[in-house]
C-alpha cells in the first residue's frame, strides 16, 4: 500500500500571529502518540513571510513544511521571487508548483512550471505539480486533452534519480473553493488518465515508486472517505478546511487511516 499524502494549503489567509498559533496547534495535534503509526505524510504550506517561523515550530516534528511557490532561478535580479535554496533554508521539504490561482492571477504557464520542477528537483525538494481543467474545458469534453497536455509540458524531459518523488495534484479549477467537490467517480476517472499518461512518460515501475497522485477541490471530513477508498487517489490537498485544526484532523485521520 502506498503512503498517503495530505497537504494543507493556507494560501494568503492568515497573519503572522495567526499562522504561528495554527502551526503550534498542528504540532501539538500531530505529534501526539495516536499519530505515530500514520500511513503517510502531513504537509503544511503557509505564506512566505511565515515560512521561517513555521519551520522552527515544525522542526523535529512529524509535520513537513512546504512552500506555496518558488522561482526557477537560484539568484539574480528577480524582485519578489524566492529560490528553491531559500525554501530549503526555511526548512521546506515540499513545494507547490502551478497552483490554479497562480496560473489565473499571475499568468503562470506550464513552460514556467517545467522550469520550476527542474529547479526544485535539483535541490531534493518534492514538487507538488497542480493540474486541472476549467469549467469551459469540462463542458466541451476537453478535460482529458488538457490534463495530458499539462503533464507533458510540465514533465517533459524530466529525469528522476533514485528515490526522488513527484506529486501530481489534480484540482479541477471549477471545484476549488466552490464548496462542491466533483463526484468521486469523476475524480477517479481523471486520476486514471493522469496515471496512464505518467506510465507512458516514465514507465509503470517509476510511477509506482516515485509518483503520488492526489485530489484537491472542496474536500471536507464529510466527503473525503468517498475519495480515499478509490484505487488511484493517493491523498489530498486541502484549502479552507485546513484552517481549522479540528476539521483538518478529522480529514487526516481518514486519509492516513488513523
Question: Where do the structural domains in the chain lie, given as residue ranges?
Answer: 4-255
Half-sphere exposure of 104 toward its Cβ, with a 13 Å CA cutoff? 11
Question: Per residue in 172-203, pLDDT tens?
Answer: 987 776 666 688 899 999 999 999 999 999 99
CATH number of 4-255: 3.20.20.70
By annotation, the residues acting in catalysis are 99, 171
| Residues 168, 211 contacting (CB under 8 angstroms) | yes
User: Of 209, 187, 189, nearest to 199 (Cα)?
Assistant: 209
Biggest CA pair distance of the chain: 49
The pLDDT, as a whole number, for residue 101 is: 93
Q: What is the pLDDT of residue 1?
A: 47
**What's the pLDDT score for residue 173?**
86
The residues of the chain scoring below 50 in pLDDT are 1
pLDDT at 179: 64
**Statement: the pTM of the whole predicted model exceeds 0.85:** yes
122: enclosing H helix or E strand: helix 110-122
Name the nearest CA neighbour of 54 among 83, 24, 88: 24
Tell me what pLDDT residue 5 has.
Answer: 95
pLDDT given for residue 38 in this prediction = 80
Q: Is the dihedral of CA 220, 226, 229, 230 positive or negative?
A: negative
Amino acid at each position: 500500500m502506498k503512503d498517503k499524502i495530505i497537504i494543507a494549503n493556507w494560501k494568503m489567509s492568515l497573519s503572522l500571529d495567526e499562522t504561528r498559533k495554527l502551526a503550534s496547534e498542528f504540532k501539538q495535534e500531530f505529534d501526539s502518540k495516536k499519530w505515530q503509526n500514520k500511513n503517510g505524510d502531513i504537509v503544511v504550506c503557509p505564506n512566505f513571510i511565515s515560512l521561517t517561523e513555521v519551520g522552527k515550530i515544525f522542526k523535529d516534528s512529524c509535520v513537513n513544511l512546504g512552500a506555496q511557490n518558488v522561482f526557477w532561478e537560484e539568484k539574480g535580479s528577480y524582485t519578489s521571487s524566492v529560490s528553491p535554496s531559500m525554501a530549503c533554508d526555511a526548512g521546506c521539504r515540499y513545494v507547490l508548483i502551478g497552483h490554479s490561482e497562480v496560473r489565473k492571477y499571475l499568468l503562470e504557464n506550464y513552460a514556467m512550471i517545467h522550469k520550476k520542477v527542474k529547479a526544485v528537483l535539483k535541490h531534493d525538494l518534492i514538487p507538488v505539480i497542480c493540474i486541472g481543467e476549467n469549467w469551459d474545458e469540462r463542458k466541451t469534453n476537453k478535460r482529458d486533452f488538457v490534463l495530458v497536455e499539462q503533464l507533458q509540458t510540465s514533465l517533459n524531459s524530466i529525469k528522476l534519480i533514485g528515490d526522488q518523488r513527484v506529486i501530481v495534484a489534480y484540482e479541477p479549477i471549477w471545484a476549488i473553493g466552490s464548496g462542491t467537490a466533483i463526484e468521486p467517480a469523476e475524480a477517479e476517472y481523471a486520476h486514471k488518465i493522469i496515471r496512464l499518461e505518467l506510465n507512458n512518460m516514465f514507465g509503470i515501475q517509476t510511477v509506482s515508486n516515485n509518483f503520488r497522485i492526489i485530489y484537491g477541490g472542496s474536500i471536507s471530513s464529510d466527503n473525503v472517505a468517498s475519495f480515499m477508498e478509490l484505487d488511484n487517489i493517493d491523498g489530498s490537498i486541502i484549502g479552507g478546511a485546513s484552517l481549522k485544526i479540528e476539521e483538518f484532523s478529522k480529514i487526516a485521520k481518514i486519509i492516513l487511516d488513523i
